[in-house]
Structure 1
């Protein structure tokens, strides 16, 4: 089976940086699979997600989509890529335009990709908002009228409205309180199961990783030091760095 997304010996060096932010990174994500990228702050997780989303180009190596190198100048490929790969960003407060109503925010992928006009997008927007558990009147309101958890649901609705094949999620619940976090994790799990979506998620929360992702890749200083089935990586880590990550998780005294 051809991977839907793949990194092949990818490296990224930002302008003015002394060295690579990530280097020699290779992994493949099969259709319908979910992969977690974990590691301490500064390990390069978000940079990898930006590579997979096409927001950053590799300085070495390649990003592949459906087995073909991602070519930003290939309009036909990039149109197919943008429709098939959508992103949920970390902060629901800054990822939504406060000047626009929710209907316009959620419809943005449909209009920008030329899938629907404003009128024909309305039923799809309503269906997406309903699926993430928001009331019917949410479409006519502004982001500031919602709680943090509701804003993240709006962001998820925007990501799924064009029925993508892949969902990239950058710390999708880190800005939420514990109770809301559980509800959003449950929503993501339901969407993944219902739509057979491929998911790549950056997370510091190993309990979220265990709940949502079949596979896990562990990054240390821009390189993958371990990857494999999540249960194996978290319960029987092979690399000392992974063991340190797991040991650093706070636990209540017995």
Structure 2
């Protein structure tokens, strides 16, 4: 099996007041792999995402990038390789900046490109999510929620990362737009060999994109396996409740 890009080994995190947010969680994402991390609100998904991004340090266990512990000396390489798409496309884009500057931000902050080279990469990234070149001169308020999420994906992928962490990327969108954004992520995964970890409470969204799924309850992993198998035959009652919550059309 391909070595993981990002791996959590027996990770736990305890808040300052002593409450245990996650306990002994292990998961990994390898090159080209798509993994879903699912659970209800309060299950620990957001805490795990912060740990994966190096925004918090685990109380116990390890977060590994390319087999080595995250440390300040490797954070620039990590940021170029691991990018994030956030839940709300209305708050994740700076309303004061033009789209060109927003999408170019990773290139600028990581020192990867500037000037004409950066401008060309921005236009190419916007094209990859189905947006025209003149998008660069406009502001976020001129776009719909779905278009804003496409812009957020363009920003996350402009530096050609190896892994995309998608934090509830479609939960703020209407049903039709959700399908379009998920289809876009599927296309990017296929065309760019992008690995994806999708954090979600919605198994239907995860089922469309992810080969494997990790189920989180109360900060611990209660079930893991192929997404198709979990949907077909969940082993745990908690997973069954998540599966039963997936909307279905009534039988004719």
Same fold, judged at TM 0.5 (above): yes
TM-score (norm 1): 0.95
Residue from 220, 223, 246 that aligns with 1:223: 220
Cross-structure match for 1:34: 34
RMSD: 1.1
TM-superposed deviation, 1:204? 2.1
Cross-structure match for 2:99: 102
Moved more, 244-253 or 22-31: 244-253
Post-superposition CA distance 1:180-219 (Å, at most 9, x none): 1111111000000111111100112222111100000000
Cross-structure match for 1:4: 5
TM-superposed deviation, 1:120? 2.4
Q: Which runs of 5+ in 1 are unaligned?
A: none
TM-superposed deviation, 1:247? 1.8
- 2:51 aligned with 1:51: yes
TM-score (norm 2): 0.96
Residue from 191, 194, 198 that aligns with 2:195: 198
TM-superposed deviation, 1:251? 3.3
Post-superposition CA distance 1:64-113 (Å, at most 9, x none): 01111111x22xx1111010000000000000111110000000000100
Moved more, 243-252 or 39-48: 243-252
TM-superposed deviation, 1:27? 1.4
Moved more, 99-108 or 1-10: 1-10
- Rounded Cα–Cα distance in structure 2 between residues aligned with 1:143 and 1:14: 36
Is the 1:170–1:201 contact (alpha carbons within 8 Å) kept by the matching residues of 2? yes
Aligned length: 250
Is the 1:111–1:118 contact (alpha carbons within 8 Å) kept by the matching residues of 2? no
